Amino acid sequence: MEQITNKRVLVTGVTGWVAGPVATALAANGNTVFGAARFRDATQREPLEAQGVNTISIDLQKARFDEVPNDIDVILNFAVAKVNDFDVAFAANAEGPAALMELCRPEMFLHCSSTAVYAPDDHNPRLETDALGDSHRPMPGMPTYSISKIAAEVLVKYTAKRLGIPAVIARLNVPYGDAYGWMTFHLMMMERGIPVPVHVNQPTSYTPIHSDDIVRSIPYLLSLASVPTTIVNWGGEEVAGIEDWCNELGRLTGITPQFAPTESTIAAIIPDLTKLHSTGFRSQVGWREGMLRQLTVSRPDLLK
């Protein structure tokens, strides 16, 4: 796959776990990268600037784009607001990206969505055409997430079609890296003897994808950008459940996980990756390798 180079790229949500490594990788590959976030803490700019990313302050909720430069070629939208207020969630997650497209009129637009938009269906893999639903409603503290993500997809598709912008919506499934991820929270619970919530319909399975593979996959995803917008599932090769990675973390640390089956958590969502694979992309970091790397980097004190 031809790499992205010599482009003016705007990456939103750049202070987040997923977008930061993407922005720095693109900057290292000969692109002029603008990393966008609210940057309420000015010290967040320093590590990004040190790696060649030009930081700018924007606010998608308020459509504040005064620092956005002209002649942006590619926009990668990773920004997300996880809030309890639906008005704020719709403004930040749906209206904001559409307004940014209106302003910049880029050559290509990638919108990071989530497999949270799917209605769970036991452990059957979800196709891009399958039913949508409020999968995150049972999760404490995330009442707006699935619905605002669905709203964002609708507005991105509509705006891209109206403006003739080739776009791709990538539905991401459980991202993690050497220093972040859902697993880090589960490990903290295990350390403290707190039972980890899992769905009553076990195993609580997903397709976790490592940061290295997220970065590698960007040009493959952009190869799908089209008018009308293409939607594609985005995940790792292997199916693994919360139970699996907690047990692996237990094997590596000697801490035995406890589980608390409940309906007040997210059910299994396994994306079908046929369309992603059609681009030629395959993830390379297996989840067991990823767990070992995460411990080695983030909690070497716990390794047996």
29-63, pLDDT tens digit by residue? Answer: 999 999 999 999 989 999 999 999 999 999 999 99
Nearest to 135 by CA among 121, 154, 156: 121
Q: At what angle do helices 96-104 and 145-163 cross, to 10 degrees?
A: 20
In this prediction, residue 139 carries a pLDDT of: 86
Q: What is the mean pLDDT of residues 289-298?
A: 97
pLDDT in tens, 90-112: 999 999 999 999 999 999 999 99
- CB-based contact 38:16 (threshold 8 Å): no
Q: Which two tokens stand for residue 167?
A: 């776009």
Residue 19 has pLDDT above 90, yes or no: yes
- pLDDT value of residue 2: 82
Render pLDDT for 159-202 as a digit per residue (tens, 0 to 9).
Answer: 999 999 999 999 999 999 999 999 999 999 999 999 999 999 99
pLDDT attached to residue 140 = 83
Which top CATH class is 8-178+208-238+271-285?
A: alpha beta
**Domain segments of the chain as ranges:** 8-178+208-238+271-285
Which contacts qualify for 244-249: CB closer than 8 Å, 24 or more apart? 244/203, 244/205, 244/287, 245/183, 245/186, 245/208, 245/287, 245/291, 246/183, 246/186, 246/190, 246/196, 248/287, 248/288, 248/291, 249/183, 249/186, 249/187, 249/190, 249/291, 249/295
Q: What percent of the chain has pLDDT over 70?
A: 100
Tens digit of pLDDT for each residue in 115-149? 999 999 999 999 999 999 999 988 888 899 999 99
User: Would you call 276 helix, strand, or coil by DSSP?
Assistant: helix
| pLDDT, mean of residues 262-271 | 96
